[in-house]
Structure 1
Amino acid sequence: MAADWNQQVIETFRANGGEVPQFGRRLVLLHHLGARTGTARVSPVMSFPTEAGWLVVASKGGAPEHPAWYRNLLAHPEVRIETPDDGEVEVVARELDPAEREDAWRRIIAEAPGFGDYERRTTRVIPVVELARR
């Protein structure tokens, strides 16, 4: 079911120039490779622009485990994204260290309080990943 929903979001993103009704223009389409399989995948993820690129949150809705795309980025950090404003962009993924994450998390919660709800649903620390332009 999640795959169908993701595909609908991807199609809506592409058909509407990056605009998705429930997310506005906050999504990017993350093109990544499976950590074990090397299979090409695309995941829509909410983003938070920075000077270097974008921050994305590996929340998985507060599930007890990290999303697959997060593990894939750790294995294959050089990826590309599709953005509403910049089109396709080559990026390199880097997980924020604890101090950087703390600063970023405050911003993320202020802009998208739902991530605070996800944090309360899980015992894991939800990773924040920077996607910096290459």
Structure 2
Amino acid sequence: MGWYTNVIRSLGHRPWFATVGRAAVPVDRWLQRKTGGRITVIGRTALPTLLLTTNGRKSGLPRTVPLLYAPDGDAFVVTASNWGQQHHPAWSANLLASPEATVSLAGGREIPVRAALAEGAERDRVWPLVIRVWPAYDTYVERSGRAIRVFVLTPS
């Protein structure tokens, strides 16, 4: 991992970084779409990112959010950390209501997936995978005061 990625991962623990990150989500979503996922708002990094498109549980409309992920075989593990806020992000409720979604990867590759909420032993197994990608998730758990939802997205 390069020095730049290490700096970004270190900054992830700071509250101001989460505030800036939340504000940058619309720009990041646009930038990833325009570049086919090759560039994110924090630049080209070794951090694995994807665009997750869910169906809105109330509107039924497609909703897209940029996320970090941890690979798990052919599956993608994502966390509903919401940058350490006290409430779950809307996209996680969308997946609970309708687990069919689409993942867009670098190069514009789209993969239909089925989401499963990781609980119990499965959650214990995949949590270290996401911490290796983004160590600040442990900080987000402390900051949020809630159990952060973790989803395994399996290609369908």
Q: 1:38 aligns with which of 60, 66, 76?
A: 60
Map 1:1-134 → 2, pairs under 5 A = 5-18=24-37, 19-20=39-40, 22=42, 24=45, 26-84=48-106, 87-134=109-156
Percent identity of paired positions between Structure 1 and Structure 2:
29
Which ranges in structure 2 are unaligned for 5 or more consecutive residues? Answer: 1-19
SS of residue matched to 1:115: helix
The separation in 1 between residues aligned to 2:22 and 2:149, in whole angstroms, is 22
Once the two structures are overlaid, the 10-residue window that deviates more, 22-31 or 63-72, is: 22-31
Amino acid across the alignment from 1:6: V
TM-score normalized by the length of structure 1: 0.88
Q: Distance in 1 between matches of 2:41 and 2:27?
A: 12
Q: Tell me the CA shift for residue 68 of structure 1.
A: 0.2
Query: Cα offset for 1:58?
Result: 0.4
Tell me the matched-pair count: 134
Off by >4 Å, runs of 4+ in structure 1: 1-4
TM norm structure 2: 0.77
- The runs of 5 or more residues in structure 1 that have no matched partner are none
Q: More helix per residue: 1 or 2?
A: 2
TM-aligned CA deviation for residue 20 of structure 1: 1.5
Please give the root-mean-square deviation of Cα atoms over the aligned residues, in Å. Answer: 2.2
CA deviation string 1:63-103 (max 9, x = no partner): 11110000000111111111115700000010112211112
**Cα 1:111–1:4 shift into 2, 3 Å:** closer
CA distance in structure 2 between the aligned counterparts of 1:11 and 1:94, rounded to whole angstroms: 27
